[in-house]
Structure 1
Amino acid sequence: MNLGSLSSTSLLIAFIIYNVSFLVFVLALAGKRWSGRDPEAHQRRWGKAGFALAVIGFAAQLVYFFTRWAEGGHIPTSNMYEFMTFLSMMVICAFLIVYLIYRTPVLGMFAMPVGIIIVAYASVFPSEVQPLIPALQSYWLKIHVTTAATGEAFFAVGFAGGLMYLLRTVDYQSDAAAARKERRGVECTLFVIVTLIAFVSAVFGFNAAGYKAQFAQQTLVTDKSGAQQQVTQKVDYVLPPIFAPNGAETVQMTPFLGMSKPLFEAPSWMEGANAGRKLNTVVWSLLGGVVLYGVLRLIARKPLGAAISPLLQGMDPDDLDEIGYRAIAIGYPIFTLGALIFAMIWAQEAWGRFWGWDPKEVWALITWLFYAAFLHLRLSRGWLGKRSAWLSVIGFLIVMFTLVGVNLVIAGLHSYAGV
């Protein structure tokens, strides 16, 4: 078995073990009701089993990481596939650290799915080992990306803690306006998670079915001398084109549900690399999210939050609040070093300036300021409980937009990360 095969097989093994670990953590909580006279012992036993499986999966992903590094000759964090797999590995690592501190099996039920979804999302992107482009040929790639991702991984665990706190404390029986508002907020958060799952599932499904659509689009390209010329750019779609690129000609399109040509054309004001495909992806994600959320609602016969909340009724809300806060408190200084300080030093070396208002830089700063406000409000203003939990949830949604939205939707100097 060569390094490439060993690397991909190790990642697949890690993904499978992570899913099994998640199911074991679910059994640790759901099984308390039918475990007999000692439900706490049942939870501890199954919690240890889930933790052990998570450690084994993490070890398998470490094998993937280092074999891919050996295969490519550089640290595997240079594109979206590699970065997302690394981020998922650090999310699991952060979970293991926080679990060892608090020994709370319920954390595995919420933190493990974050890592699992990120691994699944990574598989959407091309997985071939690619040579480093000139902008990434620096030792700062190792320092900046790894520390930034580690900080974001602890934010993910903080998000899990905050979401658990809300599901545990939101009143699903009250008709008060404040309670209804809280329930809507939790449900919107769960809908975002379901939408991401639906997007990944759709890409998997159409890839497996061999679906393909390709368009030829005329694009203005600026060369090194500043001159502009028109070139023909091929744009490949994995999802059926509800929106085709503006002004593009169809080269190839697999029929889908009787649709042999795009339904609409992307607006002319949408500029940037692959703007039509990005719009198409957003629309498909939202449609898939609505359908999947509707199916889950039909199965549960109640809001998803109301279905999950009973599993957390035995948990101490103060413990969940503490877990969310501690994870963010650990991640914030690491993120500060990686996403700001090290990033600015690398920017000075690569582009000759510390700061340039690139979209990725702006959103990294927004993320840093948000978590700074979170820590200030908690430590100085006493924002504990629900207010702290809401901030941890909103903060990680900002992180995900910085990682996904900025890389794939907004064009900028960091657009190479979306290749």
Structure 2
Amino acid sequence: MSLLDFSRDAFIVTFFVYCAAFILYAVAVMGTKFSNRDPGVHGRKWGRISFTVSSLGLAAHLTFFITRWIGGGHIPVSNMYEFMSFLSMMIMVAFTVVYLIFRKTILGLFATPISIIIMAYAAVFPQQVQPLIPSLQSYWLNIHVTLAATGESFFAVGFAAAFMHLLRTVNFNSNVKSDRRQQRWVEFTLICVVVVIGFIAAVFGFRAAGYESVFTQEKTTIDKQGQAITDTSKVSYSLPPIVAPYNSEVESFKPFLGLKEPLFHAPSWMSGINAGRKLNTVIWSVIVGIILYGLIRLVMRKSIGKTISPLLQGLDPDDLDEISYRAIAIGFPIFTLGALIFAMIWAQIAWGRFWGWDPKEVWALISWLYYSAYLHLRLSRGWQGRNSSWLAVIGFLVIMFTLVGVNLVIAGLHSYAGTM
């Protein structure tokens, strides 16, 4: 067995160990609600067990990372599969650090599924080891990307603690207008998580079924001599095409549930043959996510937030607020070094300029400015508690758009990160 094969096996083992750890964290937290045993003793015992299992998962994750690095010949952070896998690992590292400081078992119930979802998201992308393009063949890749991801991982833990704070403090039984508004926004955040899970479920479901439809697209450009040049490209869909690429023809189409042709073409302003496929993926993610959410509501017979909230009633909301703040305070200087300072140094070396208004650069700056404002406001009067938690939740959504939306939707110098 080659190192890369062993690495792939370690990735799978890691995923299932994390899932087991999540279940154990749930037992540690919810067992205190449903058992007749001493909640303190029960929680500490299962808390130790669940943390041990999540630590074993982290050890397997480190094994995946190291063996892929050695087998691939370069640090595995150069495409979406590798980077999101690394981010998932660093989230568990950040969780471990924060857990050892605060000893809050319930944090694992929220941090672990974030890592699991990001791992599953990573597995959507091509997993082959790809040779580094010239601009990535630098030791600055190791420094810039790893530090940026480490900072973002602490932001993720801060998000988990902040969202727990909201679930703990929002009154889900109130009909007061302000409380109803808070309930809706908490539920909307949970719906966004379910949509991400829907995206993963849709991709893996249709991929397992072997679904594929193919389109061809002709694009005409005028060269410097005024001559028309026509290029023909093909794009393969792994999800039933609701949206076809702009100005394309069907080469092969596999019907699905009465869908015998695309309902419409992508608009002309969405440039690139992959634009229609990406829009199609977004639509399917929303459709499957809404179906999943409907099924969850049907089973629970109430909102997800209202279901989870009682599990957190024994927690001190001030502790959760402090954990969120401390995690973000740890991650901010690391993110500053990795995503801005070292990134600008590398940009000067690779492209001959510190700053070029590339979309990824702009959104990294937006993320940095946002968390700068968060830390400033967090120390101001009136911005602790619920206000601070909402800032932490929104901040992580900004980070995820920077990682996912910019890489996959907006064209730029960072578009080498991989495609679906």
Q: Report the TM range for the smaller structure's normalisation.
A: over 0.9
Shift of 1:142: 0.5
- 1:84-103 alignment to 2 at 5 Å? 84-103=84-103
Q: Deviations over 1:9-46 (max 9, x none)?
A: 00000000000000000011111023324111101111
Which piece of structure 1 moves more, 274-283 or 367-376? 274-283
Paired amino acid for 2:281: T
Contact 1:11 1:61 in 2 (8 A): yes
Residues in 1 aligned to 2:252 and 2:134: alpha-carbon distance in whole angstroms = 33
For this pair of structures, how many residues does the alignment match? 419
Shift of 1:381: 3.7
Residues in 1 aligned to 2:157 and 2:254: alpha-carbon distance in whole angstroms = 41
- 1:297-308 alignment to 2 at 5 Å? 297-308=297-308
Residues 226/410 of structure 1: CA separation in 2 closer, same or farther (3 Å cut)? farther
Counterpart of 2:165 in structure 1 is 165
Residues 292/223 of structure 1: CA separation in 2 closer, same or farther (3 Å cut)? farther
Paired amino acid for 2:302: K
Shift of 1:227: 9.8
Q: Deviations over 1:364-400 (max 9, x none)?
A: 1110000000000011345110000000000000011
Contact 1:340 1:365 in 2 (8 A): yes
Counterpart of 1:207 in structure 2 is 207
Counterpart of 2:69 in structure 1 is 69
Residues in 1 aligned to 2:141 and 2:228: alpha-carbon distance in whole angstroms = 31
Shift of 1:203: 0.4
Shift of 1:273: 5.4
What TM-score, normalized by structure 1, do the two folds share?
Answer: 0.97
Counterpart of 2:295 in structure 1 is 295
Residues 219/58 of structure 1: CA separation in 2 closer, same or farther (3 Å cut)? farther
Residues 228/184 of structure 1: CA separation in 2 closer, same or farther (3 Å cut)? farther
Residues 373/273 of structure 1: CA separation in 2 closer, same or farther (3 Å cut)? farther
- 1:229-378 alignment to 2 at 5 Å? 229-272=229-272, 274-378=274-378
Contact 1:213 1:240 in 2 (8 A): yes
1:115 paired with 2:153, answer no
Residues in 1 aligned to 2:166 and 2:319: alpha-carbon distance in whole angstroms = 12
Q: Deviations over 1:265-287 (max 9, x none)?
A: 11112114511111111111111
Contact 1:147 1:338 in 2 (8 A): yes
1:60 paired with 2:60, answer yes
Which piece of structure 1 moves more, 65-74 or 367-376? 65-74
Shift of 1:222: 9.8
Contact 1:272 1:411 in 2 (8 A): no
Contact 2:246 2:273 in 1 (8 A): no
Shift of 1:221: 7.5
Residues in 1 aligned to 2:191 and 2:223: alpha-carbon distance in whole angstroms = 43
Shift of 1:261: 2.0
Residues 349/220 of structure 1: CA separation in 2 closer, same or farther (3 Å cut)? farther
Residues 226/296 of structure 1: CA separation in 2 closer, same or farther (3 Å cut)? farther
SS at match of 2:379: helix
Paired amino acid for 1:378: R
Contact 2:167 2:308 in 1 (8 A): yes
Contact 1:87 1:150 in 2 (8 A): yes
Contact 1:273 1:411 in 2 (8 A): no
Over aligned residue pairs, what C-alpha RMSD do you find?
1.8
Residues 273/244 of structure 1: CA separation in 2 closer, same or farther (3 Å cut)? closer
Counterpart of 1:184 in structure 2 is 184
Residues 379/124 of structure 1: CA separation in 2 closer, same or farther (3 Å cut)? same
Residues 97/228 of structure 1: CA separation in 2 closer, same or farther (3 Å cut)? farther
Residues in 1 aligned to 2:416 and 2:225: alpha-carbon distance in whole angstroms = 21
Residues in 2 aligned to 1:376 and 1:198: alpha-carbon distance in whole angstroms = 36
Which piece of structure 1 moves more, 317-326 or 269-278? 269-278
Paired amino acid for 1:238: S
Q: Percent identity?
A: 62
Residues 336/78 of structure 1: CA separation in 2 closer, same or farther (3 Å cut)? same
Paired amino acid for 1:90: M
Shift of 1:223: 9.7
Shift of 1:52: 0.4
Residues in 2 aligned to 1:72 and 1:218: alpha-carbon distance in whole angstroms = 36
Shift of 1:258: 2.6
Paired amino acid for 2:22: F
Residues in 1 aligned to 2:94 and 2:34: alpha-carbon distance in whole angstroms = 31
Residues 3/226 of structure 1: CA separation in 2 closer, same or farther (3 Å cut)? farther
SS at match of 1:205: helix
Which piece of structure 1 moves more, 128-137 or 17-26? 128-137
SS at match of 2:214: strand
Residues in 2 aligned to 1:228 and 1:353: alpha-carbon distance in whole angstroms = 34
